[in-house]
Structures are given as C-alpha cells and as structure tokens.
Amino acid sequence: MSAPWLADIAERTLDAGLHRAPVARQPGATEINLASNDYLGLSTHPEVIAGAHAALDTWGTGSTASRLVAGTTAAHIDFENDVAEFLGFEAALAFSSGYMANIGAITALVGRGDLIVSDTGAHASLIDGCRLSRARVAVVPRGDVEAVRRQLAERTEERALVVTDSIYSIDGMVAPLRDFYDAAVDHGAILLADEAHALGVRGPGGRGVAAEHGLSGAPGLVITTVASKSLGAQGGLVLGSHLLRDHLIDHARTFIFDTGLNPAAVGAAHAALRVLRADPAMPDRLRAGVRRLAQACGGEVPDAAVVSLIVGDPNRAVRAAALCREQGVFVGCFRPPSVPEGTSRLRLTVRADLSDADLDFVAGVVRGALRDVGAA
C-alpha cells in the first residue's frame, strides 16, 4: 500500500509499547479466561447454545437485510419486548452492537445547535456518538455532578443531553447515576446512561444501576446496554418509551442502514435472559467472586465485576499478561488510549461460573506475574 505515513505511525506505536494484535482463542483451550466480558459465564451455557441453534434452524444464518427491509424477525420483536419488561421500560430496540446502539441513540437525540455533557469516563462508543452528533460537547471530570449541573445551567442551547456509563468499564466503579438524573431533570435535559457493564451485575436480579436507584422507566432517561456481556451473545439495545423507539426507527442511522442483528445472537441472548430470570442470585455470586479475587490480588474491590490492577508502563503490562497466559490464566491488558497515559493495567473480569479454587489459582498467578515484572 502506497501510504508512507503508515510506516511512521507503526514505528511510533511500537516504540510507545502500544502495538496490538488479536489474541486467537483455540478450541479445547483449558486456560481460565478473565479477559472477556462474559460476566455470568452464559456464552457456553447449554440453554444459551440451544437458543442459538433453535434460531438458526428457524431463521437461517443471517438477518439478510437491514431491520427496516427484511432484517426483523419475530424473534427480534419477542426479545425486545421481553428485555424491556425485564428492565422496566416501555420499549426496547435491538442494534447490531452496543457501539452502534450508542452512536445511533446519541445522533438521533441531538444535533447541531444542541449541547451534550459527557464525563471523562465515557466509553469510546459514547465519545464517537458525541462527535458524530455535531452538537457542542462539554466534557466534565468523571462523576462530577456539580460540573454537569454547571454546564447545564449555563448553556445557551435549548436541548441538552447528559451522557455517562453507569459503570465505568475500566475499573468497575459505579457512576452517580441518581445525581446525574436529578441534574438532567432539574435543567430540562435528557440522561443517556450506558448500562453495558451493569446488566447481570448490579441491581435487583441483575437489572442494572438504574433499577438499583428506582429509575427504571423514568421519564427523561434513556438506557443503552448490550447482549454481548452478561447475556453471552451479541448486539446492543436502547431502552425507553414507545415514542423513543419510534424515533430511533425513523432517525437512528446505525439502525436504518446497518444489517440487522443476526437471528442466532437474538436466540442466544433471549435464552440467556431466561436463564438470568430463573436464577436471580447469579449477580450476587458474581460479586462475591469479585471481592475474593480483588482482595487476594491486593487490588481495590470494585462496584462491579472488573478488577483493575495498575502496572503503569505499557510494556510491563503486556509482559505481565503474557506471563499469566503462559501459566493458564488469560487476563486483559489495557493500554492507552483505552486508559490514561501512565496507567496501563491488567484488567481481570470475574465470571459467576468460576469456583473459589479457580479464583485463588488466578490470584496466585497474577501476583507472581506482577512481581516478576517489578509491578507488585
């Protein structure tokens, strides 16, 4: 490819310790996986796999078109209705991914001449949605409610949207969602909260942080979440009123022009939701495992299911992750731009299906790896 600047960028990326390569999982692997977001371990649950198989048998391998042409099946509608009821909202709309859901929702809700207030903990999909909306974006420190109120109070724009994760994905800490919502309502704004890392992890029966604060179905609240984490499948969701759903169908470009979520993912996600409904104590078991692992690793106990162990130097973090994998433990390694400079880290995602013995083994491996790279 005749693009000479690519070689320069590649060299700088490598020198900074930020080059990445996909890590291919192999069939029959016996390593303990703490790098995924499969919080409840449902991606391999027999009922979830059966749900995917049943959808394949009924609908085939693909959705075949965008949702507004021929890409919506009865399975999509049934899943949307069931997940909306579970989370306490009037309606839900499924997108092909959480990334597409966030971009679609934000760009359909606000545009040029409007204001978005976003905090520094926002996921990349929220950031890209803000950029693509063409609204004015005011970025405030993570979790700073007073800064949000100040931006909303001082704005000249009529319409405003507050954007946040309900659980910050890097370290598993909970955002002050109730306070953000009150600030938005007090100033005539809408709150959009991404509950990707909250579904199946927090709230009554795993219904998320909004439900924990009694905000399910609240006016002026838009929730986004995913089927690709606790539900062990694929896809994104936007939840709110019937009016919001209709608006997104008409105006969310990532819904209108994208191929619909494939039926197998819909069938798997719906089956996973039924498993969660039948065992509402799963999130409690998950968080008990999180506490055990965080304490054993000497890390801070998070509010959700992510144990974050800061190493600092990106090359040391990569080496520590490699040492863990050599001993049968697959952990996440997060470096800039996913995290701020100087805070490269190991990110351990606990699963509800891991035993105490599994977690104790993981802790020993991780402590040894951090010690070997001089980060203990």
Do 244 and 104 reside in the same domain of the chain?
Answer: yes
Average pLDDT on 238-264 reads: 98
Is the pLDDT confidence value at 2 over 80?
no
- Domain end residue (candidates: 243, 278, 313): 278
pLDDT at res. 1: 54
359 in any annotated domain: yes
Given a contact cutoff of 8 angstroms between Cβ atoms, the answer to whether 307 and 350 are in contact is yes
17 in any annotated domain: no
Calpha distance 232→162 (Å, rounded): 29
Do 326 and 360 reside in the same domain of the chain?
Answer: yes
Q: What are the CA-CA distances from residue 137 to residues 112, 148, 149, 183, 192 (Å)? A: 10, 12, 14, 17, 14
pLDDT at res. 16: 87
Average pLDDT on 216-244 reads: 98
- Domain end residue (candidates: 258, 278, 298): 278
Do 137 and 188 reside in the same domain of the chain?
Answer: yes
Do 256 and 315 reside in the same domain of the chain?
Answer: no
Average pLDDT on 72-77 reads: 98
Which residue(s) pair with 316 in the sheet?
Answer: none
Segment 267-284, tens digit of pLDDT = 999 999 999 999 999 999
Cis peptide bond upstream of 263, omega within 30: no
What is the CATH classification number for the domain harbouring 302?
3.90.1150.10
Other Cβ atoms within 10 Å of 15 Cβ, number:
9
Domains in the chain, number: 2
Average pLDDT on 100-115 reads: 98
Calpha distance 269→264 (Å, rounded): 9
Do 210 and 287 reside in the same domain of the chain?
Answer: no
- Domain end residue (candidates: 235, 255, 278): 278
pLDDT band, residue 31 (cuts 50/70/90)? very high
What is the span of the domain harbouring residue 353? 281-372
Do 272 and 315 reside in the same domain of the chain?
Answer: no
Do 274 and 126 reside in the same domain of the chain?
Answer: yes
Segment 210-226, tens digit of pLDDT = 999 999 999 999 999 99
What 3-state DSSP class applies to 97? coil
Average pLDDT on 75-87 reads: 98
Average pLDDT on 72-76 reads: 98
